Amino acid sequence: MDVFHKAALLTARIKVLRESGKTVGFVPTMGALHEGHLSLVRTCKQQNDFAVASIFVNPTQFNDANDLRRYPRMPEKDREMLESAGCDLLFMPEEKEVYPEPDTRRFDFGGLDSHMEGKHRPGHFNGVAQVVTRLFDIVCPHKAYFGLKDFQQLAIIKKITADLHYPVEIVSCPIVRESDGLAMSSRNRLLSEEERKQALILSESLFLAKKMKDRHTPQEIRKFVSDRLKAVAGVELEYFEIISGTSLLPVHTWGDKEEIIGCIAARVGKIRLIDNINFSL
């Protein structure tokens, strides 16, 4: 695996690959890797001649300075994990390589950012759009791979890719869970032993919610999940929404023609976790 720290050198290398007819897939990450990230890399490698990954903790998508400071960093272990997963090229830039100048761009997401993560993390998705488009400019991939755990983020990335006419296919990959059901996240490693147990309330509530679908309305399930989380000491629910997978707006009836997703976010101690479940599968 070749490691690049300079954007221009990586771009030049990928230009040669593309001109020789090779396909290039891309997995952007912020490091602190886990099996969820590695599954993206393996899928990327299966579908492309070359798999490229990046490790860059993007400051513009953090609306909480403490969250940015706490975000786990383990670059040497990350490099070993990526190599073992079949990654061919790794981009590990300093901030000035991604943002040579301050990025003042503002994006229109057509309302996809108006609630859930957008409401609770103002400016977050604009920062995501900034970094994803900059990385696309540097890497020039044929395909890019993102996990479905960040469902709202994935919808927004698909929109900006289409709106800005990037010739990149966005590939959605399934949520990878721990053996007890907890969605894998880099932030899980920040949980204490007791908090790790408490965090299971998120996935357990989603699984129960899906089982209730045939007998209860979306409103009844929203109340059930909200009440369940509010009853757990040390867990602070930010939101639980049942939404259209297309518009991301709340649904009030179970339609049989659209994808319906249940999205949840909560703080366990000081650590913020998200998860979701597809009611339509």
CA dist., res. 221 & res. 202, Å (int): 14
Residue 3's SS3 state is: strand
Those residues whose C-beta lies under 8 Å from the C-beta of residue 228, and which sit 6 or more positions away, are 201, 205, 208
b (16+ CB within 10 A) / e for 156-165: bbebbbeeee
Instruction: Report how far residue 155's alpha carbon sits from residue 150's, in angstroms, rounded to the nearest whole number.
Output: 9
- Say what angle helices 35-47 and 75-84 make with each other, to 10 degrees: 40
Write the DSSP string, 210-264. Answer: HHHTTTS-HHHHHHHHHHHHHTSTTEEEEEEEEEETTT--B-SS--SSS-EEEEE
Residue 213 tokens, joined: 């679908």
Q: For residue 62, give both structure tokens.
A: 């953090």
Q: Which of 5, 34, 37, 115 is catalytic?
A: 37
37 catalytic? Reply is: yes
Residue 124 pairs in a beta bridge with none
Tokens matching residue 152: 């709202």
Q: Nearest 5°: CA angle at 26, between 118 and 180? A: 65
Residues recognised as catalytic: 37
